[in-house]
Amino acid sequence: MIPSWLIGTTAPALALQTSSIWMPRAGSLHAPAIDTLMRVSLLALTAAGILAQILLLAGLFLPRERRSRFSPAWRWIASAIFAVCMVWMTMIAENLWSTIRLTKAAPNAVQVEVTGVQFEWYIRYPGADRAYGATKPELVDAAGGDPLGLDPADPHSHDDIVSSVLELPVDQQAEIRLRAQDVVHGFFIPGMRVMQNATPGMPSQIHITPTRIGDYAIVCSQLCGLGHYRMHAVLRVVSQQDFATWMAQHQPASKEN
Ligand SMILES: [Cu+2]
């Protein structure tokens, strides 16, 4: 009985205490709201856990005649409170999620595409024309320097920039298109508080606004194969000036490549 009591009350409390220490520093516009939601959820669950344990102990130790004074209506009241809390937390979470996943990105958002391939993340910018060139699976040749299989017949592909680093300017929205070539990968940047699956044949969009300059780890949150553990890349958030310089350096030299 004591271990369950301990686990039930201290685990959420511990998680609550340590969440701010163990979590990487938040680096995106929506991150503080997600952190707050997590803390509030943990607080609510801790309170519910402690309350449940108190009721359990009361049920065990109170004399039978005093126990029977708790009318069955209390069960319904407790269930209703729990249901309202759950719906409320879900609504806040859904609302928050929709701001990065379901709403439209700003017109001036940096366009970037991230493709998950066993076991790499490939980054592509559409270039000056702001349009991604077509890709063809049969043209994919990672060893030959074309991991995405850009179609040379499509003029939009001529100025596409393919990189292994995700470089983004600070304080400007980035619209990230997620793709996968082989299996489902999980695009996860803990420091940005963003996690979204990349599914083959089903591109998805998210948009985030980095707010702090620095390097952030990009990892894969789906067990995608034997090399899953080493599937990572870096998000480098730089000043707008540095981003412009980086883009200019990576611009394809000629139109004929
Ligand atoms: Cu993966």
Report, as an integer, the average pLDDT of 194-219: 93
Give pLDDT tens digits for 12-40.
666 665 566 678 888 999 988 888 888 88
Report, as an integer, the average pLDDT of 125-141: 86
Q: Which helix (H) or strand (E) holds 195?
A: strand 194-198
- Which pLDDT score, from 0 to 100, does residue 9 have? 63
- Distance, CA 188 to ligand 1 centroid (Å)? 10
Domain ranges of the chain: 2-101, 110-250
Report, as an integer, the average pLDDT of 78-84: 86
- Distance, CA 85 to ligand 1 centroid (Å)? 35
The CATH class given to the 110-250 domain equals mainly beta
Percentage of the chain lying above the pLDDT 90 cut: 40
Question: In angstroms, what is the C-alpha Rg of the chain?
Answer: 24
- Distance, CA 195 to ligand 1 centroid (Å)? 12
- Distance, CA 198 to ligand 1 centroid (Å)? 9
- Distance, CA 142 to ligand 1 centroid (Å)? 16
- Which pLDDT score, from 0 to 100, does residue 3 have? 63
Q: What's the rounded Cα separation, in Å, for the pair 211 and 20? A: 18
> Does residue 256 or residue 204 have the better pLDDT?
204
Percentage of the chain lying above the pLDDT 70 cut: 88
Residue tagged 């043209």 (tokens): 139
- Distance, CA 178 to ligand 1 centroid (Å)? 12
- Distance, CA 31 to ligand 1 centroid (Å)? 23
- Distance, CA 123 to ligand 1 centroid (Å)? 14
Report, as an integer, the average pLDDT of 41-55: 83
Give 118: exposed, middle or buried? Use CB within 10 Å, 0-12, 13-18, 19+. Answer: middle
Q: What are phi and psi of 150, to 5 degrees?
A: -65, 135
> Does residue 11 or residue 219 have the better pLDDT?
219
What is the side-by-side strand order in the sheet with 120-125? 161-163, 120-125, 110-117, 174-180, 204-208
* pTM score over 0.85: no
- Distance, CA 194 to ligand 1 centroid (Å)? 15
Q: Find out whether the peptide bond into 119 is cis, omega within 30 degrees of 0.
A: yes
- Distance, CA 222 to ligand 1 centroid (Å)? 6
- Distance, CA 164 to ligand 1 centroid (Å)? 15
Highest mean pLDDT among 24-28, 83-87, 171-175: 171-175
Lowest mean pLDDT among 1-5, 56-60, 252-256: 252-256
- Which pLDDT score, from 0 to 100, does residue 255 have? 44
